[in-house]
Amino acid sequence: MGFPGVWMTQSGTMAYRVVPKCACSTIGQILYHADHGAFFDGDIHDARDGLHKWAFEHSRPAIKDSVATGTAYAFTCVRNPYARILSSFFDKICGIQRNGSRYRGNLVPVLMQNYGVDVGGEDGKAPFDQIESFRRFLLFARDTIRWRKPMEPDIHWSSVSGHVSTFIANGGRYNKIFWVEDFANGMGEVLAAAGPRHPVALSEIPRFNESQGHGPKRAFPVSAYFDDLSMHLMKEIYWQDFALFRYDFDNPDNAAPTGPLDLDEIHAKLRD
């Protein structure tokens, strides 16, 4: 039994299943602050102390015990698939990362050569056709998810339901799943239920976003990037995300959920 992607406060008050591109940097900082009364100085993904993470061998017994006993308030956060895949494209494909290099080394050259993706030159600052390049990237993302070629799907564009499901399949149960589009209310409910050691004023916290400034800004409305073929691909690879988390497939510009989440339905469908 394992719980990959789970972070937990050292006090055991909250357990969070990380979902990339769904406010994970901000949520991680909130968990850290809840125990220590201050935010981590740096990118929370780099923190090796002050927060339990499944990636750390010494944290695993505490996480396993918390899940088994249900003592930590377990939650995660989800995001509209249209906005999430666009964010992945502009950050991870078009952007220069914190280390000054392209994401995953030779990934972008492979995309340029095999899929005709343009990323705005070596520094990502040259003008390029964002819409055409994104649509070519989406074909690549579909190929990785459906056929695992030319590589395994990356965590930043593999489905949200796939991330969420690992916690359920291995015996966990979420107390709360909320939308990034309604972050203040959702995270507020988590904090109210968990009772952290140090209060967190959500209206006053800094914006933690490690991808901010990495790549070019999106120049057009979300719908401009999705023609009929692109929407067909989105349905092929992310339909479960749209259905389970109540997002509007027919209108890419409507980021808001269309109805309430059903936790029982989510657990039943993602258990296996």
Reading across the β-sheet that carries 6-8, which strands appear in turn?
52-53, 6-8, 14-17, 73-78, 176-179
Q: What is the pLDDT of residues 32-45, one digit of tens each?
A: 999 999 999 999 99
Q: Is residue 74 included in any domain, yes or no?
A: no
14-23, 164-173, 197-206, 253-262: least confidently modelled range: 197-206
Tally the C-alpha atoms within 13 A of residue 23's C-alpha that lie toward its C-beta.
22
Query: b/e per residue, 229-263, with b = 16+ CB within 10 A?
Result: ebbebbeebbebbbebbbbbbeebeebebeeebee
Whether 101 has a pLDDT exceeding 90, the answer reads no
pLDDT digits (tens, 9 = 90+) for 243-254: 999 999 999 999
**What percentage of the chain has pLDDT greater than the value 90?**
86
Any domain includes 136: yes
Burial (CB count <10 Å: 0-12, 13-18, 19+), residue 126:
exposed
Can you tell me whether residue 266 is helix, strand or coil?
helix
- Report d(CA 268, CA 272) in Å as an integer: 8
| Residue 223 counted as domain residue | yes
Q: Band of the pLDDT at 123, cuts 50, 70, 90?
A: confident
Q: pLDDT-derived band of residue 213, with 50, 70 and 90 as boundaries?
A: low
Is 127 within the bounds of a domain? yes
Q: Residue 49 pLDDT more than 90?
A: yes
Q: Which residue has the tokens 């939650």?
A: 75
Whether residue 4 is contained in a domain is answered as: no
What was the pLDDT predicted at 14? 98
Q: Name the residue range of residue 100's domain.
A: 83-155+216-237
Report yes or no on 24 lying in a domain: no
Q: How many domains would you assign to the chain?
A: 1
Tell me whether residue 198 is in a domain.
no
* Mean pLDDT value across residues 176-196: 97
Across-strand partners of 176?
75
Least confident of 129-143, 197-211, 239-253: 197-211
CA distances to 86, 98, 123 from 120, rounded to whole Å, are 16, 18, 7
212: pLDDT strictly greater than 60: no
Residue 35 lies inside a defined structural domain of this protein: no
